[in-house]
Amino acid sequence: MAGPLLSVRNLQTSFFTREGEVRSVDDVSFDLEAGQTLGIVGESGSGKSVTSLSIMRLIPTPPGRIKGGQVFFDGQDLLRLSDREMRAIRGKRIAMIFQDPMSSLNPFLRIARQLTEISELHLGLDRRAARRRAIEMLELVGIPDAARRIDDYPHQFSGGMRQRVMIAMALSCDPQLLIADEPTTALDVTIQAQILELIKDLRNRLGTAVILITHDLGVVAGMADRVAVMYAGKIVESAPTDSLFARPAHPYTQGLLRSMPDPLQEVAELYQIPGLPPDMTCLPPGCAFAPRCPHAAELCAQPPETVAVGATHRSACWLNVRSETRA
């Protein structure tokens, strides 16, 4: 059997500041099969977006640096490729949708130019063929009257439509992997649902693997085949989506799930995980979640092991290690 489309092994990315080293991605490993969707969830600052930028090799240097690890994509270690080889992959075989389409789109260029440039560069199309391809992509993502609107500027589109343009750009070269970094940020609930449904539909039709980065577990519930939960730069739990929601093993995951509003219940106020995320320049010894954890014990002053709590379910918590030992 062929291996996974993407295999990340012991990835480490740091930012070096006046206050000290920030280990934004600290020994992260995961696999993604072709055609599957992986949801990466966690609070702001947990390392989700830096993980995706590290895969794409878009970490600003300085102050950031990929310190170690391997990122195998279709058998190639992306971290060992030259800049030229990486540019040939980025945008063609791996594409990314960024959080804010207004800052990602050039406000001074018409949508047509921004879309055709990708097809001309990566597919070798002439300008006329590239324009036809661009119109097809805008129609694919549900933009009405695409043949006319392609000559508009970004500011002439609504937020939801700009995000659709970003998706069209990302899919222009039929990538094998699509990374969507908070694709519904700042959009209203109705537009969020439309964008997520669009990504799911395109994945099913085109067979594209997806990494969906979000702080909202509710988003991954209906989108992802598997979920990785990040905290303080580490993956603290990973599992198939159904297993994670049915049997969350890590106290942080349990807290995130308790924080989700239940439409079937009326509550005075939502649950909040106590405390704040840690200072990444001065992490506590051992488990970084221990200061906020209701189950913290003396053992948590040591880094927890990652253990299997199911056939394909893993968690990095001393509670699970002790349970595994008793079993």
Q: What is the mean pLDDT of residues 42-62?
A: 93
Specify the pLDDT at position 101.
Answer: 67
92 in Cβ contact with 122 (< 8 Å): yes
Candidate ranges 51-60, 164-173, 213-222, 316-325; pick with highest mean pLDDT: 51-60
| Cα radius of gyration rounded to whole Å, the chain | 21
Tens digits of residue pLDDT in 66-76: 999 999 999 99
Q: CB-based burial of residue 122 (10 Å sphere; 0-12 exposed, 13-18 middle, 19+ buried)?
A: buried
Specify the pLDDT at position 267.
Answer: 62
Please check the confidence at residue 80 and state whether its pLDDT lies above 80. Answer: yes
pLDDT-derived band at 326 (thresholds 50, 70, 90) equals very low
Tens digits of residue pLDDT in 234-290: 999 999 999 999 999 999 999 999 888 776 666 667 788 998 899 998 898 899 999
pTM of the full structure: 0.90
Specify the pLDDT at position 269.
Answer: 75
Q: What is the average pLDDT score of the chain?
A: 89
Is the N-terminal amide bond of 284 cis, ω within 30° of 0?
A: no
Tens digits of residue pLDDT in 162-214: 888 988 888 888 889 999 998 877 677 777 788 888 888 878 888 899 999 99
Specify the pLDDT at position 263.
Answer: 67
Percent of the chain with pLDDT over 90: 59
What count of Cα atoms within 13 Å lies in the side-chain half-sphere of residue 77? 8
97 in Cβ contact with 183 (< 8 Å): yes
Please check the confidence at residue 322 and state whether its pLDDT lies above 70. Answer: no
What's the CA angle centered on 73, arms 72 and 78, to 5 degrees? 65
CA distances from 227 to 25, 50, 245, 322 (A): 17, 17, 10, 23
Domains and CATH numbers, the chain: 6-93+175-262+270-324 (3.40.50.300)
Residue at 243: amino acid letter: S
Two structure tokens written together for 300: 């948590």
Q: What is the mean pLDDT of residues 203-232?
A: 91
Compute φ and ψ for 242, nearest 5 degrees.
-60, -40
- Distance CA(101)–CA(208), nearest Å, equals 21
Q: What is the mean pLDDT of residues 226-237?
A: 96
